[in-house]
Structure 1
Amino acid sequence: MINKLVNHLDTNFTPFTAKLSQPLTKQSIKVLQVNLGKRCNLACSHCHVEASPKRTEELSPEICGQLIDLIDNFPEIKIVDLTGGAPEMNYGFKPLVEAARKHGKQVIVRSNLTIYFVDGFGDLPAYFAKHQLRVVASLPCYLADNVDKMRGTGVFDASIQALQWLNQLGYGTSPDLIVDLVYNPQLPTSEKFSLPPEQGKLERDYKRFLQENFDIVFNNLLTITNLPVGRTKLHLERKKLYDSYLHFLESSFNSSTVEHLMCRDLLSVDYLGNIYDCDFNQMMNLPATTVKGEPLTVAKFLEAGSLDLIDEVKTADYCYGCTAGCGSSCGGSLVS
């Protein structure tokens, strides 16, 4: 599928691998990122997972048990990063949280904030605080119209209420209760493409606006580039902008971002237990493999008794999104 996407680009397009001075090698694994499933209470226009309330795919008890074994047996895993869909809605969320916290690992929950107001999930903010989860929450703008356009009517107001709730529990002020916000640009409707603004300046703007208007505080703003994957890819294709957007990302390539790419020390796991180098490769079905080209699973890591089974990171042309400008990752920009 990836080759088909590349083939219809004009000959001036440089494949991502040609930009690298050497193969992108895997480093010691520090982050276990688990996509628990595609169930979500929202259906955001930019979602690379294509999650929605209609999706039913989620983690099984068997794979959840294997992931807990992985957390128990590999102390080099320092961070367990739980995503989705809305990770809180999918099977295994709390068992994985508690397994990781038992070993003192940092747990990140990538929360859409609005889930707290869905029946059956009102305990989440207190649960997060009890287990000292780091909350990373999407708020793609500090203006209501822009947020609702991307994420659905009423999402901005619900997000504000959720952030105020977290603040009341100590998030944003207690050193053990971290809440970060995520910015990504509006989806383009013409060839006037843009990368995220400088992260530090935009963070100051967010903090000032949210403090002055809603008395909200938070820790960090993370800026993320829209990668042409999932619903973003579908949007670009509908607008006939896919090729030109890839060209734009290529023209913004910054070689200094490569050594900081998140895929180098991360394992991305899907709800079936398959292993990928990153969440974007997961959505594009580009699995991580052994030197012999064998796809990897959680079970194979457990059988081997080692996390060092991957030599090189699998790349594709959408990787330009992570290396454009200041770079982009699940932790925000990569370089100043």
Structure 2
Amino acid sequence: MQTQTINSVDVKLTPFKQKLSQPLTKKTISVLQINLGKRCNLACTHCHVEAGPKRTEELSKEICEQLIELIDKFPEIKIVDLTGGAPEMNYGFKPLVEAARQAGKQVIVRSNLTIYFVDGFGDLPEYFAKHQVRVVASLPCYLADNVDKMRGSGVFDSSIKALQLLNEVGYGKNQDLILDLVYNPQLPTGEKFSLAPEQTKLEKDYKIFLQENFDILFNNLFTITNLPVGRTKMHLERKKLYSSYLQFLESNFNATTVEHLMCRDELSIDYLGNVYDCDFNQMMNLPAKTPHGEALTIGKLLEAGSLDLINEIQTAAYCYGCTAGCGSSCGGALV
């Protein structure tokens, strides 16, 4: 066991690379995840993006055009995954949806649901249905108190109404209109840490509760570990739990998750056009690099005419969050 210094905190942690039997490399890139910006109508306590109503950073017209060119140019991209902030609030959202659907890609929008009740966004459920957008919606618990603690007062009730609107236009019922929910554990307040519950069982619990109490249907539940990034990291540091939480994640490292990590087949793009191996590296300013050590941008991918410019994925201590227990990804548990 080596001591690794992380932000001036001495943590007895094995460097993540040393856990791997071989360097972590990319497979064929099939997912393009785009963070359109940090503008959001909510400011959730666990948000690793640190998004909120006061943030103004968002996609520019130039970067949006480059992204559309990227989507059109590379048939190996099967999924365009739009996130934020509230992606729907940021520049370029609808042009990217429509360009990706025109190119035959599946489009995912990571929605906070409450955005449908903000002036100017009431058409979103119908818009999503028209373009067969897959909606992945945050509902970190099926109990109101827990959701409101994490996401703000009244968010649970708004989320329930939004899910009912999505059901009304066919989501969760029509096979072409997929509605998935995301569970996040509550942020720890002491050293009694836990991983997300078993995904399949929790999905059944969610489905029974939401249907019996609100007549809501959905397709899949994704359990996602809170990685010590962004506001989650700040919370852990305030509670003096950051070091021990990292140690907890390392103690639950599961080597069988590595083959399925989301960073293996995706590129994460920020609103400035920079390229990262995953969304968490993006938030921690750890760019994807060429074999020559150059940071990647969309422009360099387009100039090279290839998505395969990364030899080795950039890793850090928080990667233990994706490999703990059953693993964690934007699509839920890995094994």
2:128 is matched with which residue?
128
| Residues 1-336 of structure 1 aligned to structure 2 (within 5 Å) | 4-5=5-6, 8-10=9-11, 12-335=12-335
TM-superposed deviation, 1:6: 6.3
Gaps of 5+ in 1: none
Question: Partners in 2 of 1:6 and 1:78 — Cα distance?
Answer: 37
Question: Partners in 1 of 2:5 and 2:43 — Cα distance?
Answer: 27
Q: SS of 1:9's equivalent?
A: strand
Q: TM-score, normalised on structure 2? A: 0.98
Question: Partners in 1 of 2:14 and 2:308 — Cα distance?
Answer: 31
Matching residue's letter, 1:48: H
Question: Partners in 2 of 1:306 and 1:114 — Cα distance?
Answer: 38
Matching residue's letter, 2:135: V
Question: Partners in 2 of 1:284 and 1:329 — Cα distance?
Answer: 17
Q: Is the 8 A contact 1:6 1:317 kept in 2?
A: no
Q: SS of 1:42's equivalent?
A: coil
Q: SS of 1:294's equivalent?
A: coil
Matching residue's letter, 1:5: I
Q: SS of 2:259's equivalent?
A: helix
Q: SS of 1:135's equivalent?
A: strand
Question: Partners in 2 of 1:179 and 1:255 — Cα distance?
Answer: 30
Question: Partners in 2 of 1:324 and 1:254 — Cα distance?
Answer: 6
Deviations 1:106-153 (A, max 9, x none): 000000000000000001000000000000000000000000000000
Gaps of 5+ in 2: none
TM-superposed deviation, 1:4: 4.7
Matching residue's letter, 2:9: H
Question: Partners in 1 of 2:14 and 2:324 — Cα distance?
Answer: 14
**Equivalent residue pairs, number:** 332
RMSD: 0.8
Matching residue's letter, 1:170: G
Question: Partners in 1 of 2:71 and 2:164 — Cα distance?
Answer: 32
Deviations 1:285-325 (A, max 9, x none): 00000000000000100000111101111000000000000
Which stretches of structure 1, 4 residues or longer, exceed 6 Å deviation after superposition? Answer: none
TM-superposed deviation, 1:9: 2.7
Q: SS of 2:291's equivalent?
A: coil
Question: Partners in 2 of 1:210 and 1:301 — Cα distance?
Answer: 44
Q: SS of 2:295's equivalent?
A: coil
Question: Partners in 2 of 1:257 and 1:9 — Cα distance?
Answer: 27
Matching residue's letter, 2:63: I
Among all aligned residue pairs of Structure 1 and Structure 2, give the percentage whose two residues are the same amino acid.
Answer: 81
Matching residue's letter, 2:233: K
TM-superposed deviation, 1:5: 1.2
